Chain A
Amino acid sequence: MVQTTFEEQVVYSRPIAFSDSQTHYCPGCTHGTAHRLVAEVIDEMGIREKMVGVASVGCSVFAYNYFNFDFVQAPHGRAPAMATGIKRVLPDRYVMTYQGDGDLASIGMGEIVAAAARGENITVIFLNNANYGMTGGQMAPTTLPGQKTSSSPTGRDVELAGFPIRTAELLATLDGASYVVRRSLHDPKNIRMAKKAIRLAFETQKHGLGFSLVELLSVCPTNWGMTPSQAQDWVGEVMVPYYPINDFKVHPALANIKA
C-alpha cells in the first residue's frame, strides 16, 4: 500500500484582530474589506493588545463588534475628540477612529480638523462612499455634483447644496497632519495600495509623528442602486477623477519606514 502524506499549508486565516462574527454590512459593501485590512495590519504590527478603537455613528457604528480589541463608541462626529481623550491619558496605546464621510466630513468636521491641527497622535480610517449609508442614502458632503440621492432626488445641485469636500486635501494643509493619503477599495490593486497606506498610518502613530488619516473610496451598492460590480466601476470611473488617489502629506521621517 502506498502511504500518501499531505503537507498542510495555511493559505488563508482570519486575522486575530478580526472577530469571528457576521457583519451587518450589505452584500458588496467595502466596509468588510477595510476592516480586514486594518485587522491584518494590526496583526502584522503585533499591536492588538495595545489598541483602543473608536467607532462612530453611521454604517460602521457596530465596528466594535467586528474587531477583536478594546473599543468605545462615539457620538456622531465626535470620534476624534474621544480618541484625543484616550490617547492623552494612554500615550503608549494605539488609538484609531473608524469614521464615514457623513460622520467625519459633515457633523464631525470641527473635531477632525482640530485633532489634525493639534497633531494628535492617532490614526483615522475614513471611508468615503459619497452618501449617508446607514440612514438610507441621503446627500453627504462628499456627494458628487449631479449625484442622485434620497435627499438630492434630482441630483446634487451645487447652486443649492454647494460642492463636495475633498477631506484628505483639506486636512493635508494642516501642519499637525503627518500622513494624509487617499486610496480606493474598488479593485485588487487599489486594495493592496490601501493596505500599505493603513500600515504607514499606524507606523506614523508608532513613531509618534502625529496625526494620520487614510481616506478610502468605498462603494455603497444598496443606496446607489447598483450591483456591487457596477458600484466598483462607478468608483473607478466617477469618484476617482473627483477624488484622486494620492499622497497629500507624508512626513519625511516616513521615507525610512517600510510598509
Chain B
Amino acid sequence: MAKELLKGNVAIAEAAIRAGMNAYFGYPITPQTELLEWLAKRMPELGRAFVQAESELGAVNMVYGAACTGARVLSSSSSPGVSLMLEGLSYIAGTEVPAVLVDIMRGGPGLGNIAPAQADYNQIVHGGGHGDYHPIVLAPANIQEAIDLTYGAFDLAEKYRSLVIILADGSLGQLMEPAVLPEMLPVIMRQPEWATYGAAGREKRILSSINLEPREQEAFNLHLEKRWQEIKKAEVRYMEYYLEDARYAVVSFGTSGRISLSAIRAARAKGIPVGLFRPITLAPFPEQELYELSQRMDGLLVVEMNSGQMLEDVIKITRNSIPVEFYGRMGGMVPMPEEIEAEIDRLVNQPHSPNGHPRDRWLDRFSLDN
C-alpha cells in the first residue's frame, strides 16, 4: 500500500477502524480532538457506533458497557480527561473486559496547557486508578508506529482481557508525516464466553468488579498478577538504535525518544559512541533488556518530557550499577536536539558525581532560558 500524509490523531483513528473497531465513545479535548472528529464522520458512515459522551466519565463507562458485550471498543482523551476516566479504567480492569484507550498527553498538572508532554507516565504506567491492576501501555514515537500499535491493540486487549493504553503526546497527535494504513478488517460482533449480550439458550452471566469476600478478592488479585507475569514474559517490545558499539545509551520513549535520536546522530557524527534504547511497551517495561544493556554501558542518560517519572523505573532496574543522568522538559516544553546533545556531552566528558539523585543534579543545572 502507498504511503499517505497522515495526521497522528487521524491515523490512530483510522487504524482503529481498520482493526474492526465496533464502537467509539469520546469527549472533545485538545490535543486529541481530531481523533474524535474523524470517527464522528467515519463510524456512522460505516454503520458503527459513535457517541460523543457528556464527559470523560460518560465516555469511559460507555466503553465499559460496550466492552462487556465483547465489542471492540475505543476511547481517546488527553491528560485531564484521562484523570477523569481513571475510575472507569479501574472498573474495567476489575471486570477483566478488553478495551483500548488513547491518551494524547498534554502539559499539566491541572488544566495545564495543550502542548505536548509525557507527564502521564506515572498515572498510566503505574495504574492511576484504585486497586492492583496493570494496563498494557504502548508508546509510539512516530505515526507509522502509532498506526501499527493501534491496529494490534485490540488483539492484545482481547488476548489478555486487559486494558491497552496507547500513550502518545500532543506533538504525535498533531504532526503529519507519511505512513501506510493497514488493510480493513471485517467488523464482526464477537461473543466471547464471558460476555454479556443476552442469555439466549445459555445460563445468565454477570460481569462485575465486586468481591465482598476479601479472600475471593485476593484470589482475583492473584489471578491478575499471574496474568501480568505472562504478559511480561510475552509482550515486551522496545527499539535499539546504534547500540552495537555504544558505550553510552540514552533511554527515552515516544516523542522524546525520537528527538533523542536526532541528538544521538549528531553526537555520533562527533565520534561519541552513544545509542538509544526506546521502550515501546512502557508496561510491561523491558526490564531485563535494559538491565543487560546497562551492564555493558559506561553511563545512561534518561530523557523525558516530565520531571523524571520513567527515570525512577530506570534507576530501579539498573540497581545503581552504572552512572545514570537525567534531562527533562516539563509543562508542555519539548527538548531541542541540541539540549540533549549537550547532555550527552556532559555524560561522556564530565566526571560522574556519585552523590545524590539524578533528578537533583538535573534541577541544579536546569535553566528556564533553554
Contact = CB atoms under 8 A, between A and B. Distances in A.
Interface of A: 48-52, 54-55, 61, 64-65, 67-75, 78, 81-86, 88-90, 93, 110-111, 113-114, 118
Contact of A85 (B64, B91, B198, B206): B64
Among the interface residues B22, B54, B197, which one has the most CB atoms of the partner chain A within 10 A?
Answer: B54
Interface string B119-140: 0000000000000000000000
A84 B204 contact: no
B66 A85 contact: yes
A67 B210 CA distance: 17
B208 A55 contact: yes
Contacts of A82: 61-62, 64-65, 68
Contacts, number: 136
B67 interface: yes
A52 B69 CA distance: 9
Interface string B190-210: 000000111111001111111
Contacts of B88: 75, 78
A89 B68 CA distance: 10
B40 to A, nearest CB: 14
Interface in B156-213: 189, 196-201, 204-210
Given A81-B59, A85-B67, 8 more contacts: A50-B200, A52-B196, A64-B206, A72-B196, A78-B57, A85-B64, A88-B62, A93-B197
Contact of B61 (A65, A67, A81): A81
A65 B54 CA distance: 30
B23 interface: yes
Given A71-B204, A89-B49, A48 B199 contact: yes
Contacts of A114: 53-55, 58
A110 B54 contact: yes
B73 interface: yes
Given A75-B91, A110-B58, A49 B206 contact: no
Contacts of B210: 61, 73
A53 to B, nearest CB: 9
Contacts of A93: 197-198
B207 A89 contact: no
Contact of A89 (B57, B73, B206): B73
A110 B66 contact: no
A96 to B, nearest CB: 12
A81 B53 contact: yes
B46 to A, nearest CB: 13
B49 A71 contact: no
B338 interface: no
B65 A111 contact: no
Contacts of B206: 64-65, 70-73
A25 to B, nearest CB: 16
Interface in B207-261: 207-210
B65 A84 contact: yes
Query: Quick one: which of A54, A64, A65, A68 has the most chain B CB within 10 A?
Result: A64
B197 A81 contact: no
10 contacts: A64-B208, A70-B205, A73-B208, A81-B57, A82-B61, A86-B68, A86-B196, A88-B49, A89-B73, A114-B54
Contacts of B95: 72
Contacts of A75: 61, 64, 87-88, 91
